[in-house]
């Protein structure tokens, strides 16, 4: 099997944690169109098995609940993720300053390219160097 190139997310398992169903569904459709295996959108990610996905897209505000505990757990287990949010960078705790952040509204093509890069880093770590 050849390594993924370009915007491909083929065979990557992407968890979408999003409280706005329509937005999460748009993300899921865009990623599926590129060959990703999408889990979600879900609101309660703590019930998802850590080995069930490669990367995650995490909405910061889950119907009034902070997703930072979920992000802490993702960091603890070494799962890369991207924040999706309507909030500015000043609302992100310092411990997450290294995490990529997409502010609504964002371009789905650019978002999926960013997810594809994270997928490549997980599925083919030597290519991400």
- Do the beta carbons of residue 14 and residue 56 sit within 8 Å? yes
Residue 1 within any structural domain of the chain: no
Q: How far apart are CA 69 and CA 4, in angstroms?
A: 31
* pLDDT at 46 (0 to 100): 65
Greater pLDDT, 128 or 101? 101
pTM of the full predicted structure? Answer: 0.84
Separation of alpha carbons 86 and 47, rounded Å: 25
Q: Is residue 4 part of a domain?
A: no
Domains held by the chain: number: 1
CATH number, domain containing residue 103? 3.40.50.2300
Residue 52 lies in a domain: yes
Residue 1: predicted pLDDT: 34
Closest CA relative to residue 53, chosen from 9, 3, 111, 102 = 9
CA distance 115 to 111: 6
Tell me, yes or no, whether 8 lies in a domain: no
């Amino acid at each position: 099997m050849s390594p993924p190139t370009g915007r491909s997310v083929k065979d990557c398992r992407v968890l979408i944690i999003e409280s706005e169903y329509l937005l999460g569904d748009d993300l899921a459709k865009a990623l599926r169109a590129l060959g990703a295996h999408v889990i979600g959108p879900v609101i309660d990610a703590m019930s998802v098995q850590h080995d069930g996905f490669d990367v995650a897209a995490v909405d910061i505000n889950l119907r009034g609940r902070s997703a930072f505990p979920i992000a802490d757990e993702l960091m603890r287990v070494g799962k890369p993720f991207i924040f999706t949010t309507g909030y500015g960078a000043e609302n992100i705790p310092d411990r997450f300053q290294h995490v990529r952040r997409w502010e609504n509204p964002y371009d789905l093509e650019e978002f999926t390219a960013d997810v594809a890069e994270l997928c490549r880093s997980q599925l083919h770590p030597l290519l991400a160097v």
